[in-house]
Amino acid sequence: MSVIPIRWHDGGLKLIDQRLLPGESTEIHYDSVAAVADAIRDMVVRGAPAIGITAAFGVVLAARAHYAENPDNWRESIKDDLTMLAGARPTAINLLWAIERMRNCFADIEGDPLESLLAEAKAIHAEDIAANQRMGELGAGLIESGSSILTHCNAGALATGGYGTALGVIRSAVMAGKVEQVFADETRPWLQGARLTAWELLQDGIPVSLIAEGAASWLMHQGKVQWIVVGSDRIAANGDVANKIGTYQLAVSARHHGVKFMVVAPTSTVDMQVASGAEIPIETRTADELLKCGDKTVAAAGASAWNPVFDVTPAALVDAIVTEQGVVEKPDREKMLAMMQNV
């Protein structure tokens, strides 16, 4: 995969502005933690693993600035910046995980923290790519030859450090000659499926057919899909899965139609401190994302809107959770705990 959505370059962080794809591929350079928090909040970067990696580099920028201002007290003065970063996208657990992993390095650092923290952020990035490739292999192993796959939102290289979670499985299955057709939901209101997933797959020469979310059940009814493969922003200890709004209805329909449902995410997305999906905070964004298309108002004047960004799919509707540590089929708390004991 040639797409590199996140990279450290020339003393700062560079991110592909995903709001402009597919029409324009532009990198933005960031040299402050406040700007990185804004990039996460404003959807320049999105996808739980990518948000976590971006936050790790944000910690590097924060530590560099605080050490320059107050080298004897940077660990204390950085706390407000870490809180700001953590609040940028509350549902994505990888954000909190990455910040905490970076924070755990503080105690062992003597002198300038830049080199040590930058090495840790780069390690988080490299580990994510390796995990994606491993998940791709494991997930592809579940897919039968001649299968067609439907995916939702974007869980590819753009949403991760590279290669992708759900799209990593699709890439690996395509390379193994198992995939007959890939379908992608448009994924309103940000159209991540239409703009990002389709673009990524076409970059790799993988044909993709877009559908409106409302067409998914009818597609399954006609027997044209064997697997739903999605990513996740947080997985609870019992195997409940928070993902892009619209995932839950796909899982309900998949169960009705006998279509298998796979969730692909690194173990950093699993939150064993959250007993079930009922405890996962669900981010709600501005109504304008629904009432407008870009800058153009499309809704009737006076209409209000409810705009949750995520929903929760119960573990009972999930056939397999794939992580870099292995595959959990028909997930429940005991199986999740057994898998996470290896982390």
The per-residue pLDDT for 280 is 97
Tokens for 97? 């995980």
Domains in the chain with CATH codes: 6-131 (1.20.120.420), 137-340 (3.40.50.10470)
Q: What is the mean pLDDT of residues 296-303?
A: 96
Identify the burial level of 291 via C-beta atoms within 10 angstroms of its C-beta, where 0-12 means exposed, 13-18 middle and 19 or more buried: middle
Higher pLDDT among residues 6 and 3, named by residue: 6
pLDDT exceeds cutoff 80 at 169: yes
Question: How much is the pLDDT for 135?
Answer: 98
Look at residue 2 in the predicted model and tell me its pLDDT: 63
**Span 125-152, average pLDDT:** 97
Q: What is the pLDDT of residues 182-212, one digit of tens each?
A: 999 999 999 999 999 999 999 999 999 999 9
Of residues 295 and 62, the one with the higher pLDDT is 62
| pLDDT classification of 4: cutoffs 50, 70, 90 | confident
pLDDT at 1: 53
| Mean pLDDT, the chain, whole residue set | 96
User: Does 325 score more than 70 pLDDT?
Assistant: yes
pLDDT of residue 3: 80
Q: pTM of the predicted model, to two decimals?
A: 0.92
**Residue 17 pLDDT > 80, yes or no?**
yes
- In the predicted model, is pLDDT for residue 61 greater than 90? yes
Cite the active site residues. Answer: 233
Under the phi-then-psi rule, with left for phi > 0, alpha for psi from -120 to 50, and beta for the rest, what region is 17?
beta
The residue-averaged pLDDT of 234-238 equals 98
What band does 91 get if pLDDT is binned at 50, 70 and 90? Answer: confident
Separation CA 302–CA 64 (nearest Å) = 48
